[in-house]
Amino acid sequence: MKLNSNYYILIPYLVAMIIICQGCIQWAARAKDKLPEETALDRSYSYDGKVIIIGAGAAGMAAAKVFEQNNIDYTILEATNRYGGRLKKDTTLADFPIDVGAEWLHSAPITLNVLKGKKGSDIDEELISYNLNHTATWDGKNYKINPKWENNFRYNFMPESKFKNSTWYDFVDQHLGSSVKHKIQFNTLVTAIDYSGDKVVITTEGGHTYKADKVIVTVSLGVLKSKSISFYPELDKEKRGAIESVDFLTGFKLIMKFSEKFYPDAISCEVNDGEKVYYDIAFRKESHSNILGVLCRGAQAEKYYALNSEQEIIDSLLQELDLIFDGKATSSFQGEYILEDWGHHAFTLGTWTQAIMEKQSQLNNLNRPLDNKVYFAGEINDVYQQMGVPGAILSGYHMADKVLAEK
């Protein structure tokens, strides 16, 4: 075939597209390939020291499950009156359980088996493929419906899923929480960790102290950044530098109930700094409820925080939707909503991190234990390049293995 000379200009772009597409396909496979073949759940250990875990989120409870399985003497100290951390579910707003925190499974479904220690590739959980049909973008003035190929491209790049009739909270509750909850001491806010002696001494808000041979800290990066826990000796320059350097954006999730579904599956808002997306939370759920979510992070969230009240935040978002959908948002809003402000939650102070986006040297610094006595686990300490909840759980198993293996 003879090409017109104008077409030759396109060749570098086509080659770039092919390379990018190959990268995309590999990206999805990459995360699956990074999953460990076995975790600490598959091994047995003996250790006669005492271990304390700080934080009863996914990472803390995963580490605890390993200790529970091996009859290790351990306790979990949790600042709040509940477990789950950034996992939370609501059963009041809709006719299906809603994830108020983590919602999507960004990794391949087989990851769920690895997380619960099940062999084989049969998945027990009923999942929804998050392959959206109707999406749009909004730049504040123009509303543009995205072509179907773009939705497919996104899904192929990152084939996400969601739980159909359950939540991330349920998964973690069933596979971790149920076996370790009896070891959680609630309403116990850790304020200091002294690892200068043979034993690690932990001080809590009321001045109570606990002693342990080893400690796993699983609080969020936001809590570490806030310095609300003091370390003695102080964290070295590299460790503190890594904590400061990794972004942990502020943000909130707003969940609103409408009498009518006037919106598409998702609308991504074009913003300069941060992130804002409207999305149909009931997408492919067995539901008659019309539930729209708003995820807003970073500088975008700051704009809403500058308003005077929750009501003003909601009014402002409804006004924006009214502009796009001809007043339908205000007329069909049922006045019921959940606004979970993870950015200002004292024991979270942010939303999420993605270890895969960070420099390896900083991750190494974050993962480095202190004198083989104080270990760090949590989503940012994930060495298997998964994200969010899977990363947090795998980091818990990984650090439990380190604690028990490095005697």
Ligand X SMILES: Cc1cc2nc3c(=O)[nH]c(=O)nc-3n(C[C@H](O)[C@H](O)[C@H](O)COP(=O)(O)OP(=O)(O)OC[C@H]3O[C@@H](n4cnc5c(N)ncnc54)[C@H](O)[C@@H]3O)c2cc1C
Cβ proximity to ligand X: between 229 and 318 the closer is 229
Judge residue 235's burial from the number of C-beta atoms within 10 Å of its C-beta, 0-12 exposed, 13-18 middle, 19 or more buried.
buried
Contact 229, 219 (CB under 8 A): yes
Interface with ligand X includes 113 (CB under 6 A)? Answer: no
User: DSSP for 175-228?
Assistant: IIIHHHGGGEE-S--EEEEE-SSSSEEEEETTS-EEEESEEEE---HHHHHHT-
- Interacting positions 250-309 with ligand X (CB under 6 A): 253
Ranges assigned E (strand) in 241-387? 251-258, 266-269, 275-280, 290-297, 333-340, 374-376
145-157: b (≥16 Cβ within 10 Å) or e: ebeeeebeebeee
Span from 25-33, 49-57, 264-272, 282-290 in contact with ligand X (CB under 6 A): 49-57
Of 112, 193, 223, 400, the one binding ligand X (CB under 6 A) is 223
Task: Single out the residue of 53, 64, 102, 399 in contact with ligand X (rule: CB under 6 A).
Answer: 102
Alpha carbon dihedral 90, 94, 95, 98, in 10-degree steps, equals -40
Of the two residues 79 and 404, which places its CB atom closer to ligand X in the complex?
79
The smaller minimum CB distance to ligand X, of residues 136 and 202, is found at 202
Q: CB of 59: closest distance to ligand X in angstroms?
A: 3
Residues that bind ligand X (rule: CB under 6 A) add up to a total of 38
CB of 65 to ligand X, least distance (A): 13
By CB under 6 A, residue 218 contacts ligand X: yes
**b/e 32-71 (16+ beta carbons within 10 angstroms → b):** eeebeeebbbeeebebeebbbbbbbbbbbbbbbbbbbbbe
CB of 327 to ligand X, least distance (A): 29
Contact 122, 112 (CB under 8 A): no
Spatial CB neighbours of 23, under 8 Å, sequence gap ≥ 6: none
Q: Please state, in angstroms and rounded to a whole number, the distance separating the CA atoms of residues 395 and 363.
A: 12
Q: Which stretch binds ligand X (CB under 6 A): 98-106, 111-119, 326-334, 361-369?
A: 98-106
User: Do residues 21 and 149 touch, judged by C-beta distance below 8 A?
Assistant: no
Where does this chain touch ligand X (CB under 6 A) — which range of 36-44, 51-59, 112-120, 193-201? 51-59
Beta carbon of residue 89, minimum distance to ligand X (angstroms, whole number) = 12
Nearest to ligand X of 55, 369 (CB atom): 55
For residues 185 and 331, which CB has a smaller minimum distance to ligand X in the complex? 185
| Range in contact with ligand X (rule: CB under 6 A) among 25-33, 52-60, 110-118, 259-267 | 52-60
Q: For residue 45, which phi and psi values (nearest 5 degrees)?
A: -135, 155
Q: Where are the beta strands (DSSP E) in 30-165?
A: 50-54, 73-77, 89-90, 98-99, 104-105, 127-129, 135-138, 143-145, 161-163
- Of the two residues 132 and 328, which places its CB atom closer to ligand X in the complex? 132
The CB-of-72 to ligand X minimum distance in angstroms stands at 19
Our CB check for ligand X shows the closer of 34 and 322 to be 34
- In 214-304, the DSSP E strands lie at 214-217, 230-232, 251-258, 266-269, 275-280, 290-297
C-beta of 258 vs 352, nearer to ligand X: 352
Q: Which stretch binds ligand X (CB under 6 A): 10-18, 36-44, 176-184, 387-395?
A: 387-395
What 3-state class would DSSP assign to 320? helix
- Of 116-175, binders to ligand X (CB under 6 A) are none
Interface with ligand X by CB under 6 A: which range of 95-103, 312-320, 331-339, 397-405? 95-103
Residue 306: other Cβ atoms inside 10 A: 9
Q: Which of 31, 56, 114, 246 binds ligand X (CB under 6 A)?
A: 56
Site for ligand X (CB under 6 A): which residue of 28, 123, 128, 189? 189
Instruction: Name the amino acid, one letter, at 272.
Output: N
Residue 80 binds ligand X, judged by CB under 6 A: yes
Contacting range for ligand X; rule: CB under 6 A; set: 125-133, 265-273, 304-312, 381-389: 381-389
Considering only 135, 161, 203, 220, the residue that binds ligand X (CB under 6 A) is 220
Q: Amino acid letter at 129?
A: S
Which residues here bind ligand X, judged by CB under 6 A? 54-60, 77-80, 85-87, 101-104, 106, 189-190, 218-220, 223, 229, 253, 342, 347-348, 351-352, 378-379, 387-389, 392
